[in-house]
Amino acid sequence: MRYLTLITLIFCAFISLFNYSSAAVVCPDWSSQRLEREIAQLSAQLQRWDIAYHQQGTSLIEDAVYDNLREKQRFWLRCAKKPVSELNPPKSNEPNLHPVAHTGLKKMPSAQEVAKWMRGKQDLWVQPKIDGIAVTLVYQQGRLTTMLSRGDGQYGQDWTAKSRHIPAIPQEIADTSGQLVLQGELFLLMNGHQQKLSGGLNARSKVAGALMRRTLSPDIMQQIGVFIWEWPDGPQTMPARLQKLHELGFPLSQKFTQPVSSLEQVSQWRESWYQQALPFATDGVVIRQQQEPQGRLWRNKTASWAVAWKYPVVQKITDVTGIELSVGRSGKRSVVLLLEPVTLDDKRVARVSLGSPERLKAWDIVIGDRVAVSLAGQGIPRIDEVVWRVAVRDKAIEPEGPPLDFLSCFTPVEGCRAQFLSRLVWLSGPQGLNMAGLGPATWQKLLDARLLDSLIDWLFLTEEQLAQLPGVGSKQAQKLVAQIQLSRQQSLRRWLSALGFPTAGLPMAQRMSWRQLQQFSEQQWLTGQGIGPKNARQIQRFLHHPCVVTMMATLHQQQLPAFD
């Protein structure tokens, strides 16, 4: 029977052509020269961000993005077999020496790492990790004499004059014992801020901006609070330290510093502060030991007696490892980004749809770029931003050939394979003939074996032909033949949907016979509910397309009930 329609199929093919008219992370497959170039570009940008953060008090990038790119730099350095040293803040040009150096905090990536760090340690306490600006306060004989920005941890800017305009900072304290040094955070006072619901709200940048201005804004200064998290060489026990801070005019430290002895307790406080209303923005918790070295031993490096555990991220940053251009059954082209797999809300994300090729151009994404991914409604992954672009910009993929539409590629002619495969997948799917066992992989094998020349050639496949396909075998072939036979009994509505009949016309079409469909005019289709002029034209074009006419004639000749 296939050969009876050979001439028509050849013509159909011509019309179709006319209508067409994780695994482990591995080092990038780059030359050594390119790897050097990529490392140099990323390192230079990281240094610019470091200078802005440590010397100017300005955060030009989200902490999570910075941390991720810093880790990417370390990874590339290891790939290039270069030394990876501990990060030190860029040396400040400020002449003001901190009396006690500011240390850094090592960020714990998981609960397991927190538990590992806590093991064997005693007298542990947890505090919220407030999102603000670190400063040193120096009191002499009970009077505030100096306020320094953190800077590089060793040297900072003199903000003493600005401290006089911040009511939250006591200018005098009830301690006249000599020099008293405190380290803490200046933050934006907020009313009932819930971190989980509202995020950081750019609170840190607002404080930094206010302190960097030459002309101070009294209104903003009134909104700045202070949280003391270190008292070098202060009282030996944490309870005594916190009580004394309260008496000196720093009550928040006592209120928000809690004793813990287990990971479970740390997790409970972390979750509580993440969800409850607080007077400041936070981005995690700090776990610290009561016992600390003498202040003279502190260095502007990562502390050994305290670590940070940040809140769960709502987005992940990962690499683009590939770009695929797919074609749907209606001819719509779409771009899918292949990603280094990440987990978001217990969902593994390894690919994300970007939309049309035009959107790919607008995003300017190439393989090797680093992107931020999150989950949109119904758990669908999406690209939020490109956080880093590689230095070498390979040309983006370009769709080849003329545009495709809902009437192109009813046959697998050159340039039509992708859309033709999508048509087959739809045909056997739940919206079509619902044929178990005939999915994308099986259709791909049939195409590779050149057993399909039209959208309905599978009706004539034999058990022997199917059994010869790679990975099929005789038992699977029998099941496929059974599905093919069952499909012959499907309703006209299912067959129409399977072949690509415009969806808007299906409710009306299911009440008619095949012959009535052929005789219906465009004006008659317009009487159907929800069918406008565009839908009516598409229905008529579909029913009178040579490929569709040929297929329906063949189905009628095969005496399928739907086309009898």
* Catalytic positions, written as ranges: 129
Under DSSP, is residue 92 helix (H, G, I), strand (E, B) or coil? coil
SS (H, E, C) 239-252: HHHHHHHHHHCCCH
Alpha-carbon dihedral 285, 288, 294, 298, rounded to 10 degrees:
-40
Q: What's the count of helices (H) and strands (E) in the chain, helices before strands?
A: 22, 16
Token look-up 């590779």 returns 448
The backbone torsions φ and ψ at residue 427, rounded to the nearest 5 degrees and listed phi first, read: -55, -40
Structure tokens at 251: 């009550």
According to DSSP, the residues that pair with 258 across neighbouring strands are: 126
Structure tokens at 515: 């012959």
Angle 63-79/32-56 helices, nearest 10 degrees? 150
Under DSSP, is residue 366 helix (H, G, I), strand (E, B) or coil? coil
DSSP 181-212: EEEEEEEE--SSB-HHHH--TTHHHHHHHHHH
DSSP secondary structure letter of residue 88: -
Under DSSP, is residue 165 helix (H, G, I), strand (E, B) or coil? coil
Under DSSP, is residue 370 helix (H, G, I), strand (E, B) or coil? strand
CA-based nearest residue to 300, from 65, 55, 23: 55
According to DSSP, the residues that pair with 335 across neighbouring strands are: 325, 355
Outline where DSSP puts E strands in 328-425: 333-344, 347-355, 370-375, 381-388
CA-based nearest residue to 349, from 336, 362, 360: 336
Token look-up 């192109």 returns 408
Q: In whole angstroms, give the CA distance from residue 551 to residue 556.
A: 9
Under DSSP, is residue 564 helix (H, G, I), strand (E, B) or coil? coil
The backbone torsions φ and ψ at residue 391, rounded to the nearest 5 degrees and listed phi first, read: -70, -40
The number of angstroms, rounded, from the C-alpha of 190 to the middle of its chain's C-alpha atoms is 29
Outline where DSSP puts E strands in 368-527: 370-375, 381-388
Identify the sign of the CA torsion 545, 551, 556, 562. Answer: negative
